[in-house]
Amino acid sequence: MIELPQGFRAHVANVGIKDDSDDFVIIASDRPCHASGVFTKSLFSGASVIISRDHLRDGRAQAVVVVSKNANVATGEVGRANARELASRVATTLGCSPRDVVVASTGVIGRQYPMDRIRAHLDVLPRPTGTDAELAARAIMTTDTHPKVVTANVAGSSARVVGIAKGVGMIEPDMATMLAFVFTDAEIAFDELDIRFRRAVDDSFNCVSVDTDTSTSDTAVVFANGAAGAVDPEALEVALRDVTLKLTKMIARDGEGATKMLEVVVDGARDTAQAKRVAKAIVNSPLVKTAVHGADPNWGRVAMAIGKCSEQSDIDQERVVIRFGDQELYPVAVGADGLERLTKYLRGEHVTISVSLGVADGRCTVYGCDLSEGYIRINADYTT
């Protein structure tokens, strides 16, 4: 069991949205926290995103409540009123302001919360007492195959960082991605926390893609309650990056229908932005993803993906190098023995594609997965 950091408690329950598993989570601190969040830029942002973005404007929060299997997106003023009621009712139980409660939802778009069931549970809602982060991670799952929870220690202190996340489909971040909640008992000023969390998110959650589709509910929030005392901000950032990157890799490996994790490394770019642009083009290409799924060492599909970044006019194909694993495929051709080794490599569970652009020293690594028949089946039957 991975326990939450000191001062945090969880309540996990089934309120009747899912038939056979928990679907309602509260994680609360026993004291106010510094908190920072990043959210989807989708024009169809859900009520939870709209309200939570507003609640975090002052840089503080004390709890998060998550409703799973219902996104509460495209539900109008009724949906927003329901999300506000949820925050208010949880705040009453905790004895804090409704503005100190973050709300998150995930699941089917266009359906109102089943408020009769939620209210019935809120009427008897106990104060959170649990400490098991894995139970909370399991309860926020939708089509995930396993809970995603990671912990790290903050060097030079007794403070810990614990993160939970869900997300396996509709994953192409635009500011944040999926649902991710990070809790720490470290004491740190809000400005430091905000900067360091956003950097960690940009290098982790913002570098994962399963299917190129940006969610309407993307939310990533960090809570720091200070119970373990002051820490070195640099040490905390290392722990935040460790937790968010490990969660990112879990999401990529658990992509809907995925059989392999795909890691794309681009270096020699003009800057990080160009490296990320090219890497995302590769990891998001259905042709690249299906080649990886079929263990087909077709490096031409990688060249195609690089080439369609046509606005990157300083990329010259004569300077580009493409590798699968540690095997160069372009510009140096591979013989029959090399292709056989590559096919064997591509049958593994973790495939790395590396591209050197030969422009400068920018670098970025992104994470994704292959594209299988399983992805089609899961999403063809999602609401039925």
> Would you please indicate which residues are annotated as catalytic (active-site) residues?
177
The angle subtended at Cα 112 by Cα 124 and Cα 256, nearest 5°, is 100
The angle subtended at Cα 164 by Cα 183 and Cα 147, nearest 5°, is 155
Residues in the chain: 384
The angle subtended at Cα 282 by Cα 279 and Cα 285, nearest 5°, is 145
First to last CA, the chain: 34
Between CA 42 and CA 32 the distance in angstroms is 29
Place of tokens 């830029």: 41
Is residue 67 within a helix (H) or strand (E), and if so which, with residue range? strand 60-70
Radius of gyration (Cα) for the chain, nearest Å?
22
Beta bridge partners of 323: 328, 354
Between CA 273 and CA 14 the distance in angstroms is 43
